[in-house]
């Protein structure tokens, strides 16, 4: 038996499906802090989300970034192929302590790696950490609320 959906109902259903698809593609947000500074971090906890990262983005609000959650601590590396924005990346240990910060240029394939085994990487607009005086050894707050990698 085939269900018949009135025209108005079909339009509403289509909007719901499209809204659901858009929501499914938007990474979840996690509020973090760096000293007194608030960060809205999009969370990349899945392998697919980590692979996509911030590629193809043309703009990133100043307080927005992306937190990469890795399955295990290792000397993870990042690159900028297909990324149009200059970014800074802070590699973090399991407690959110900054191990090192690297500056990354758009559309390059240079590797930018953690100085020590890192559990997370936090990408922000280029120079974000430096403009706020945030350096190696400081802690990013809220990291304990990050989901597990999958």
* pLDDT 10s digits, 99-133: 999 999 999 999 999 999 999 999 999 999 999 99
Query: Domain for residue 16, yes or no?
Result: no
Q: Is the dihedral of CA 143, 145, 146, 148 positive or negative?
A: positive
Number of domains present in the structure of the chain:
1
Output the average pLDDT for the chain. 88
Query: Domain for residue 5, yes or no?
Result: no
pTM of this prediction? 0.82
Query: Domain for residue 15, yes or no?
Result: no
Query: Domain for residue 44, yes or no?
Result: yes
**Residue 34 belongs to domain spanning:** 28-145
CATH value at residue 38: 2.60.120.1140
């Amino acid at each position: 038996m085939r269900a018949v959906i009135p025209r108005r109902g079909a339009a509403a259903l289509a909007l719901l499906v499209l809204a659901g698809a858009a929501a499914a593609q938007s990474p979840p947000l996690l509020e973090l802090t760096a000293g007194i500074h608030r960060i809205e971090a999009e969370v990349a906890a899945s392998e697919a989300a980590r692979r996509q990262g911030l590629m193809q983005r043309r703009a990133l609000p100043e307080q927005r970034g992306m937190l990469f959650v890795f399955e295990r601590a290792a000397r993870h590396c990042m690159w900028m192929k297909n990324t149009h924005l200059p970014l800074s990346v802070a590699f973090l240990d399991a407690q959110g302590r900054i191990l090192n910060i690297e500056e990354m240029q758009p559309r390059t394939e240079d590797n930018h790696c953690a100085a020590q085994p890192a559990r997370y990487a936090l990408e922000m607009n280029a120079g974000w950490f430096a403009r706020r005086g945030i350096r190696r050894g400081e802690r990013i707050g809220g990291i304990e609320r990050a989901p597990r990698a999958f």
